[in-house]
Structure 1
Amino acid sequence: MRTAVIIGGGIGGLAAARALTRRGWRVRVLERAEAVEGLGAGLAMAPNALRALDTLGLGDAVRSRGAVGSAGIRTWRGRWILPTDAEALRRRFGDTIVVLPRAELVDLLGGGPVAELVHTSAEAELIDPGGPVRPARVRADGRERTADLVVAADGVRSRTRARLFPPAAGHPGPIYSGSTTWRVIAPGVTVKEAGESWGPEGLVGLMPLAAGGTYFYAMARLLAGTPSRPVTHHRPAAPREGQGLPPSTDEHAELVRRFGHWHDPIPEVLADADPGAVLRNDVWHLPDPPPAYHSGRVALLGDAAHAMTPNLGQGACMAVEDAVTLAHAVGAGPADTDLREALAAYTAARLPRAAGLVRRSAAVGRMSSLRHPMARALRDTGIRLLDRVAPSLFYGPLEDVFGWRPPAD
């Protein structure tokens, strides 16, 4: 039986563990945290990710736990720019978007036989990526482990990626996207429909949860690491491009300052959210992909390979895609010569698609964060006209995202 070590116990790492185990690999997951937790608020699983989850035997479980979402867009005053029909998405792609708490997806991926494979408090480091006649070597817990395959699912600041493709050799690492996100769940308010609102201070997304409550997320352009500031007045002017904000740590107050005067039910959702539960993250991404998603016996997966901005809602989706594609490529434990070909096939299948979505997500982020009123008016009018006159031009690009299907044996 072939062996695999997975560095990282997040969504991508757990999905890879489940996918490889189903293919007959003996797997060990090394997670540096003390426990595998679904840190974060909520996430959306698009039709492409649901198909990938189907291959892991979890698609229906996710559908049953999640709420049906759509992807409509409004202005910050509440006027529709692009209403989206969830049933139209279902007819076109076979599924709609399913929204659920991140912790529930982590529980599903890491449950059952996978739970026994995870070793926490295990800070892992790649020692040797291996080669045609030698295994890869990883150090963790003060000891070395060898494996036929190492899967690096260690996030946007992946030490494994830097080891394989060092910046000193001309391979750029992650850069700050120029935007910051906030996430929180409002348990006492359930919105009727999912969607985003775009305005001068950034964007807000509201997604209903199946068990009740609303997943709230927001995004704004901000200098990396700039502290938030407390509420000072109700309708502040939007900061200039690149301008930071005075120091504070009250992220909930920052959300109220930026978005508390937007259309209903945004103020109600913010009022219901626990101020101490707001998560903030500066968004880093990989606009320049590594030359390959593999080297030696190591495969990069998820954010370690293609960290992207959240504007397409595809970060977790792409990690699950990676996992099932990698497991299909390496099969049930190939011979050494076949493993090199299998990992090359994995790169060929994943790098063009993922790199394209990284660029597209960043472009959507720039479009959604326009500050000049005239630029926003032209954008909104153009989107409305496109939807009315040639809706296929809108749904066509979604085919590239939502229309993906897992590789078949």
Structure 2
Amino acid sequence: MISLSGRGRKDRKTQCPLTFVIVGGSIAGLACAFALGRAGHRVIVLEKGDAESHSSCTRAIRSPPNMSRILQGWGLHEKLRQVMVRADCTVLRIGQTGEKIGLFRFHEQIMQALGAEVLFFPYGQLWQELYKAAVDVGASIRFNSTVTGVTSSRASKPCVVLSDGTEVSGDLVIGADGNSGMSRRCVLGGTDESGIVDRRSIFSLEVPMKELEDRKELRALTEASNWDIWLGDGGCIHGHPSVGTYLYSHGYQMNFMLPDASQDVSGEDWECQYPVQGIVRHLEGYTPSLRDLVSCATGAVSVRYIRRDRLSSFSDDNDTLILVGDAAHNLPPNSTQNVALALEDATTLGNLLWRLRSQTQLSMFLGIFDELRLPRSAEVFRSEHEKHEFLSLPYGPLQKMRDEGLRIAMQKELLDWDEADEEYLRSNWEEYIRMFDYDASEAVDDWWSKWGSLMDAHSSNGD
């Protein structure tokens, strides 16, 4: 059953405003700042970089329906309309030849039931809208503020220490500083995680849409809003439009997952510039037209994924710091749900913490956050890893079996909705609906309808 409740809800203000210090001013941090600010709390965001580095970023992000619905509820969907592209389908191709062997259509009937679409739009545009929204609800956002540590104990409020010695205190610290950030280490008691370095390097770049239009064999990619995936030997390439209006320079986003492509890619964020020709050298197994297209890019960024153990809690032992976004979930970069999980975290915090009636409830609310978010995080983590492995099989028996299965399934996808096999649709969409239909705000409402009266009773007894 696809639910549509919990949307269009009016802002609700807390009776017990607290001060939250957010480490990290990327999308995860700003989303939390907005959600908590409109719930009536005081918010301070500490970002190590400057505004320009975020607002000018044209790298496209994918917004699955569970994220697109949050943007609608926050009033940001309309603000992004001029730059968004609605995805029609996913097309899978043989990397060596470009042959289309797989198709997954985002059927209009299913998208309508989900209440949202799969969208593409630039990171910088979403960041700008979240920044303005956070400031509008009273958040204080401080740039060029590098956090070096967090001091905390159950007996005192947590204090964030900056590189210049400045101390910023609050009632709770929210770590939104990524996989390798300081916040995750603090939750783990100051220990470094070794993790497993993924065998694939990940790169991202953008090429002008005109470069595709000028190439006959690639021109079809400009004629539909598809999400194309080229399957290679142990890796793959994703491609899709990045901007959807004549007001901006049209671009085509390309994301690469290449096996053992570079041992010098070590950073876990998107700050490492990488030479385009360095990527081209690792594309021998792909069509010449793709290699030629990549050569037209003016720059690329790279990132290395380190798979770490799942956390048993997103909070530290003192309940003074909580993790959100990549810092919490450790998904592979460029996954469908990276940004979506961050917005779900923010929505969960906002819908939980407007209900605070006493500061003594805070630890219990962090426990509820874990109860709601840990299972969802684990489910998405499993799903995204399975997709990554499926799309990057090395050449061999499993890859041949995959390709043959995709060819057979594509014939069913080509049928009109009224002619489609119901059992096929159900089996093919079951996993996607589980990912796409999740409503973070509704999950809080459901929990509260069952247990909220006990929380209120506990608060009354404690006061």
For the criterion TM > 0.5, the same-fold answer is yes
Q: Distance in 2 between matches of 1:125 and 1:346?
A: 26
Pairing of 1:72-111 with structure 2 (within 5 A)? 72-76=91-95, 77-88=97-108, 90-111=111-132
1:60 corresponds to:
78
Instruction: Report the secondary structure of 2:156's partner residue.
Output: coil
Range 386-395 or range 309-318, more displaced: 386-395
| Residue 292 (str. 1) matches residue 310 (str. 2) | no
2:60 corresponds to:
42
Q: 1:135 to 1:173 in 2, by over 3 A?
A: farther
Shift of residue 10, structure 1, vs aligned partner: 0.8
**Conservation of the 8 A alpha-carbon contact between 1:176 and 1:224:** no
Give a deviation string over 1:214-255, Cα, whole Å, max 9, x none: 111111122763379xxxxxxxxxxxxxxxxxxxx9732233
Pairing of 1:23-38 with structure 2 (within 5 A)? 23-35=39-51, 37-38=53-54
1:344 aligns with one of 345, 360, 367: 367
Pairing of 1:121-160 with structure 2 (within 5 A)? 121-131=144-154, 134-140=156-162, 141-160=164-183
Give a deviation string over 1:58-100, Cα, whole Å, max 9, x none: 1232344211123332221223332122344524523221111
Gaps of 5+ in 2: 1-16, 213-221, 267-272, 413-420, 446-463
Q: Distance in 1 between matches of 2:75 and 2:186?
A: 34
1:407 corresponds to:
441
Q: Distance in 2 between matches of 1:227 and 1:153?
A: 23
Shift of residue 360, structure 1, vs aligned partner: 2.5
Pairing of 1:82-231 with structure 2 (within 5 A)? 82-88=102-108, 90-114=111-135, 117-131=140-154, 134-140=156-162, 141-166=164-189, 168=191, 172=193, 174-189=195-210, 191-192=222-223, 193-200=226-233, 202-208=235-241, 209-211=243-245, 212-222=250-260, 225-226=263-264
Q: Distance in 2 between matches of 1:130 and 1:224?
A: 42
TM-score normalised according to structure 1 size: 0.85
Question: Amino acid of the residue matched to residue 227 of structure 2?
Answer: A
Question: Amino acid of the residue matched to residue 80 of structure 2?
Answer: V
Q: Distance in 2 between matches of 1:17 and 1:399?
A: 29
Shift of residue 203, structure 1, vs aligned partner: 0.8
Q: Distance in 2 between matches of 1:7 and 1:210?
A: 32
**Conservation of the 8 A alpha-carbon contact between 1:206 and 1:216:** yes
Pairing of 1:205-284 with structure 2 (within 5 A)? 205-208=238-241, 209-211=243-245, 212-222=250-260, 225-226=263-264, 251-259=275-283, 262-263=286-287, 266-267=290-291, 269-274=293-298, 277-284=299-306
Range 383-392 or range 58-67, more displaced: 383-392
2:28 aligns with one of 3, 6, 12: 12
Question: Amino acid of the residue matched to residue 67 of structure 2?
Answer: A
Question: Amino acid of the residue matched to residue 66 of structure 1?
Answer: M
Q: Distance in 1 between matches of 2:73 and 2:203?
A: 32
Q: Distance in 1 between matches of 2:26 and 2:205?
A: 19
Q: Distance in 1 between matches of 2:184 and 2:62?
A: 27
Task: Give the RMSD, CA atoms, in angstroms.
Answer: 2.7
Q: Distance in 1 between matches of 2:336 and 2:296?
A: 24
2:427 corresponds to:
393
Q: Distance in 1 between matches of 2:285 and 2:311?
A: 42
Shift of residue 346, structure 1, vs aligned partner: 0.9
Q: State the identity as a percent.
A: 23
1:237 corresponds to:
none
**Conservation of the 8 A alpha-carbon contact between 2:20 and 2:173:** yes
Q: Distance in 2 between matches of 1:134 and 1:64?
A: 47
Shift of residue 105, structure 1, vs aligned partner: 1.2
Q: 1:86 to 1:399 in 2, by over 3 A?
A: closer
Q: 1:227 to 1:4 in 2, by over 3 A?
A: closer
Range 10-19 or range 86-95, more displaced: 86-95
Give a deviation string over 1:243-286, Cα, whole Å, max 9, x none: xxxxxx97322332333773586346324321xx1111112333
Paired positions, count: 383
Q: Distance in 2 between matches of 1:73 and 1:95?
A: 23
Q: Distance in 2 between matches of 1:225 and 1:86?
A: 37
Shift of residue 172, structure 1, vs aligned partner: 4.5
Shift of residue 392, structure 1, vs aligned partner: 2.0
**Conservation of the 8 A alpha-carbon contact between 1:293 and 1:347:** yes
Q: 1:294 to 1:224 in 2, by over 3 A?
A: farther
Gaps of 5+ in 1: 229-248
Give a deviation string over 1:359-378, Cα, whole Å, max 9, x none: 32222222222222433111
Q: Distance in 2 between matches of 1:35 and 1:268?
A: 34
Q: Distance in 1 between matches of 2:274 and 2:42?
A: 46
List, as ranges, runs of 4+ consecutive aligned residues in structure 1 with deviation greater than 6 Å.
none
Question: Amino acid of the residue matched to residue 86 of structure 1?
Answer: F
Q: Distance in 2 between matches of 1:136 and 1:401?
A: 35
Q: 1:56 to 1:333 in 2, by over 3 A?
A: farther
Range 47-56 or range 16-25, more displaced: 47-56
1:372 corresponds to:
395
Question: Amino acid of the residue matched to residue 110 of structure 1?
Answer: Y
Shift of residue 119, structure 1, vs aligned partner: 0.6
Shift of residue 334, structure 1, vs aligned partner: 4.1
Shift of residue 323, structure 1, vs aligned partner: 0.9
**Conservation of the 8 A alpha-carbon contact between 2:206 and 2:253:** yes
**Conservation of the 8 A alpha-carbon contact between 2:261 and 2:282:** no
